[in-house]
């Protein structure tokens, strides 16, 4: 399902320039891998997204979440997802009270949202 969502949203990013920096995992307790360039603040991701005209993929997680422990390594090791992630500015945000405004469709975790380079959430792609 996530692969289909990524492929759908990539259509909005066709022609965007990919600039790769060294990958940095956002949290130490989950296996984030090194193949995806992770941003660790929404502000930073929004700035990069605006400059590169790439949509933002927001992953909200908690290191104690059993589903997060299962899905994060799968995301970071699947070669198709890694390749598609290059069409996005990817940010991983630890689920905290500060993220209450990002509970568009509930407070479950992991939550994945896609946003335009201008900060609008693509409602049809909420997972």
Which uninterrupted H or E stretch holds 44? helix 42-52
Q: Which domain holds residue 114?
A: 2-13+21-125
Q: How many domains does the chain have?
A: 1
User: Is pTM beyond 0.85 here?
Assistant: no
For 61-92, the pLDDT digits (tens) are 888 889 988 988 888 889 999 999 999 999 98
The closest of 10, 116, 117, 109 to 59, measured between CA atoms, is 109
CATH code of the domain in which 86 resides = 3.40.30.10
The whole-angstrom separation of Cα 59 and Cα 94 is 9
């Amino acid at each position: 399902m996530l692969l289909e969502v990524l492929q759908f949203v990539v259509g909005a990013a066709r022609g965007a320039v990919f600039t790769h920096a060294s990958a940095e995992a956002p949290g130490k307790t989950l296996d984030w891998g090194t193949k995806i360039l992770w941003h660790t603040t929404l502000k930073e991701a929004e700035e990069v997204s605006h400059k590169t005209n790439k949509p933002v993929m927001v992953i909200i997680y908690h290191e104690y979440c059993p589903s997060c422990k299962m899905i994060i390594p799968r995301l970071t090791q699947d070669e198709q997802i890694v390749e598609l992630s290059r069409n996005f500015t990817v940010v991983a945000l630890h689920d905290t009270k500060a993220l209450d405004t990002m509970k568009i469709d509930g407070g479950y975790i992991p939550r994945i949202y896609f946003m335009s380079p201008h900060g609008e959430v693509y409602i049809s792609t909420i997972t």
